[in-house]
Structure 1
Amino acid sequence: MAKRENSGVRAPAKDQAQASRQLGRAAAVGLTRERIVDAAIDLIDRKGLDALTMRELSRQLDVYPTAIYWHIGGSKADLFSDIAGALTAGMIDPEDTCADWRDTLRLLFRRFRERVHRHPNAAPLLGAQMRSNGAPNAPWVEIILAALSQAGYRDQAMVDAFNALVGGLVGFVTMELAPGPAEQTAEWEKSFEVRLDELDDERFPHTRRALPLMLNRAFVMRWKNGSECPLDTGFDALLESLLKGLELRAPANTPP
């Protein structure tokens, strides 16, 4: 019994000492939340999102994984959220807003796309990953809601307009920068192109006519992503279409 009581006392003390050493090491190398996020983004840029593991990140920073968890809040989901917030931080400030709500939204979403194009491997965190949503995105969410309020949107109509705008534009950018298959090779790319070129003229007349313009410049008809072949005019077309639609659907322009 005495042995069990003693071991029960020593184990927490040992854990505390180990944690203290780890945090002491982290402090010695200047570990901060910001440095962890910067290192994570650098790792994603160089090796892709799948390469971001706590083990690899701790190796890059030369600290124990425990020290990273202590700084970021306890889970990899918290790290993803911080990365998403860092990628869009300072994208637009309240003083950058324009007199016309449409110009504010143009500015915001063009800056958003430019920012994500600098870190294409992280694009899934800004659209497809629910775990990166939330408070870190609040600054630009506030700008969008203020613009929609200026346009006359309120309550559920504002939420619906917000979802249409963000879903369309963020979805476009994340699709544009979607990574190719892991087995992508020159042979795979050639095979992709050959299969498209073999489409039957009678069965797919519109596709065949448009194909020269669509190859590598249209969704589902490409084998290179937007880092190599950006879809600039398509993004502009979507942005202007959404703004026009929001303008027409604004409560002030909608018949009772």
Structure 2
Amino acid sequence: MAEPPAGLPTRAPRGRAAAIGLDKAQVVDAAVALIDERGLAAFSLRELARRLGVSPAAIYWHVGGAKEDLFAEISASITGALSAGLDASMPWDARLRQVFERYRALVHRHPAVAPLLGAQMKSNGVANLDWVETILSALQEAGYRGPALRAAFNALVGGLAGFVTMELAPAPGADDWGARFAERLGAIDPAAHPLTHAALPEIAGRIFVLRWRNGADIPLESGFSLLLELLIEGLRANAPGPGTPQAKD
């Protein structure tokens, strides 16, 4: 449910929600805790209501009439902390580094929530604009305007948020899946895939595609840091100069 426009009174809680002092922040915190415990796929509004001691209707009143509305609130609660206390006087590249390092750290605290931030379009429903403003400000300082600004924003957010979403992708639930996957890696034919076979001691279980546990167990921090530096240096190198043709998409 959307917040009332500025200047209009906020509707007071009624019924059971009012009796126990339930508010939106409590609902969101309890939902995150439940997702941490059971995973996103097993999350249930009915179970959330049971834990809070209210009817599902009380949750709908606070966050909207669908599970996706609650997911949007969870996304906003995480991204809302990204720009807090950020020193606006820092150079644009330092601001971007800080925002995206914070982003990864915050999502790693609640890894099961990661798909909401990168793979669920409805998570934009309560978009936190502070971090959008921070990124746009940094990109403008780097020289991006108009369509080039849009392209730079999408490359930066898509690359970094996408990395974290993949890093924390839910692992399969089967108890023996990891063992079976390791067996398949051990059976790689060195004649057919010599580079992959030679690199297995270094990459097995530690790169996208060839892993059986996610980044909550085996973090991929060095890859994220490298991607962040590549994107920042790419933004610096490709900043449009005066008269440079703008992106068309």
TM exceeding 0.5: yes
**Equivalence for 1:194:** 183
Question: Do 2:71 and 2:123's aligned partners in 1 also have CA atoms closer than 8 Å?
Answer: yes
In the alignment, the residues of structure 2 paired with residue 137 and residue 41 of structure 1 have an alpha-carbon distance, to the nearest angstrom, of 17
Cα distance in 2 for residues equivalent to 1:80 and 1:222 = 28
Q: 1:41 aligns with which of 32, 42, 52?
A: 32
Matched, 1:234 2:223: yes
**Local SS of the residue matching 2:212:** coil
Q: 2:96 maps to which residue? A: 105
Matched, 1:203 2:192: yes
> Are 2:82 and 2:102, in contact at CA under 8 Å, matched by a contact in 1?
yes
The structure whose Rg is larger is 1
- 1:254 Cα deviation after fit: 8.7
CA distance in 1, matches of 2:144, 2:85: 19
Q: Is the 8 A contact 1:125 1:132 kept in 2?
A: yes
User: Alpha carbons of 1:135 and 1:194: their partners in 2 closer, same or farther (altered >3 Å)?
Assistant: same
Counterpart AA for 2:31: A
Tell me how far 1:70 sits from its aligned partner.
1.1
Residues in 1 aligned to 2:36 and 2:220: alpha-carbon distance in whole angstroms = 21
1:82, 1:144 → 2: CA distance? 21
- Identify the structure with bigger relative contact order (alpha carbons < 8 Å, sequence gap 6+): 2
Structure 2 residue runs without a partner (length 5+): 1-12
Q: Give the percent of matched residue pairs that are identical in Structure 1 and Structure 2.
A: 52
Cα distance in 2 for residues equivalent to 1:240 and 1:85: 26
SS in 1 for 2:14: helix
For normalisation by structure 1, the TM-score amounts to: 0.86
1:249 partnered with 2:238: yes
Change (3 A) 1:142 1:134: farther
Structure 2 partner of 1:8: none
Separation of aligned partners in 2, 1:175 and 1:99: 30
Distance in structure 2 (CA, Å) of the matches to 1:253 and 1:236: 31
Distance 2:155 2:168 in 1: 20
1:166 Cα shift? 0.6
Matches within 5 A, 1:77-96: 77-93=68-84, 95-96=86-87
Structure 2 residue 128 is the aligned partner of structure 1 residue 137: yes
Where 1:251 maps in the other structure, the secondary structure is coil
Q: Distance in 1 between matches of 2:40 and 2:177?
A: 22
Q: Which residue matches 1:216?
A: 205
TM-score (norm 2): 0.89
Among 18, 21, 27, which residue is 2:18 paired with?
27
In the superposition, relative to structure 1, how do residues 211 and 190 fare at CA in structure 2: closer, same or farther (>3 Å)? Answer: same
Over the aligned positions, Cα root-mean-square deviation in angstroms equals 1.8
Distance 1:218 1:98 in 2: 36
Q: Distance in 2 between matches of 1:253 and 1:123?
A: 39
